[in-house]
Structure 1
Amino acid sequence: MLRVLILAFMTLGACAPVAIDVQTGPRPAAQPGAAPLSASQAARQFVQVAETVEPVAEAECRRYAPRLNCDFMILVDDRPGQAPNAFQTLDRNGRPILAFNLGLINAVENADELAFVMGHEAAHHVLDHLTQQRTNATVGAAVFSGLASVSGASDIYVREAGRLGANVGARTYSKDFELEADELGTIITARAGFNPVRGAQFFTRLPDPGNRFLGTHPPNAARMDVVRRTAARLQ
């Protein structure tokens, strides 16, 4: 029996550890038209996927970016009623965090989808997208506030221009970052023993962002194309 430590957000600022015991065995595979998993089944599936994907993600991190902290921590936001969401961030000590809420854990239709989302978020850290995004935001803020300043704008407008520039800068390459994370996420998912093409179907059930100017995510078709081409290379 293996023990996985999952941290649940009890409040926005504090976390409490919850240990869940999971009996090892074959991963559950959802059948077409199968009934949704119960809460306990969804929790068990999440832990099994996390146990399998996390060491692969850490190995890929050490291979791709040995200078980074590759000791991933997986957190579960247990607040009810939230829309499905997952994200990657860093704690105050620079340790990478992969966070998932209950909405997402319950929304996936199979273990492959959950594994792909986990691999995708881990890829954001391996590719150091947070650092690049912060750099882009800083440059955008400097450019916009500088232009406002030389135009003779008041201090208030200069600050507002800086905030606008930071937002534009942070979004400038966000679509590229998502596609890069899809590519590496496909590799992580496949090497963990899951089907990334099947897993990426999760994104096709989300509203298609299209190709909006400064949108944060690329069109679903572009994402699926990256996943299929990457998966084909791995065969």
Structure 2
Amino acid sequence: MAAFTVLEEAEGAIYRMCTTADVSGVVACVSAAFKEGEPTTAAGGATEKDMTAFCQLFVPRMVDKSVIATNAEGAVIGAMLCKDWGDEDPEEEFAGFMAKLEGDWLPALTGIGECEETFNSDFGIPVEEKPKEKWFQLWNCGVDEQWRGRGVGKKLVGHSVAVAKKQGYEVAFSICTSGPITHILTTHSSASVEHFVDYSTWTGTESVEVLRALPAAGHSGMSLCVVRLWGESKRSTRGGSAEDE
């Protein structure tokens, strides 16, 4: 294990930074977890093919910031995919991905876009050429079905927030589409919900009706969760000191 940056070993799981050699394992684990547990795309009929293509597009771009969990044999059992908010998005490749989708992702993507716009506005972030090394996005978390209920997601999030702070980021944030990840962030990582898309009333896109049944299944809405990290001599992106907050 000397080649890896190991963060913790606990209850049969090894938490460490992701490497390029982990990409295929992360894609397999996270795409399966998304297919089973991401409520907004599932409501729109997203398929395993959709999820795999989605992960194949983004996982290789997030290797250097992401935290994974493996079992003793080295198989990936969970991942918290993370990125610098200043990184460029693969716009052309994403357009190709959208053209081949089998499910309806518009409600999910429109809600995410609304949360992103709110985050950019609240923190004064320019849409073009966003500065790097300021805002750390906790992009998506997935845990293998057999390892759920053991605190793996909680540890992945906790280590990812710690990585963001260690690397000098001012803010870590996540757009949470499901109840469990929102609970982890707000309960265990000092995150505040700064924007909320209520699945029962939101009218952001034409096919929004696919989301209406989600609150009854435990997913009340999409939350923009923000963790402020600049308590140790960092200044906020809004121009004030940590003591001003």
Question: TM-score band, normalised by the shorter chain?
Answer: 0.3 to 0.5
Indicate the structure (1 or 2) with the bigger Cα radius of gyration.
Answer: 1
Higher strand share: 2
Of Structure 1 and Structure 2, the greater helix share is in 1
TM-score (norm. length: structure 1): 0.34
Q: Which structure's relative contact order is higher, taking Cα pairs within 8 Å and 6+ residues apart?
A: 2
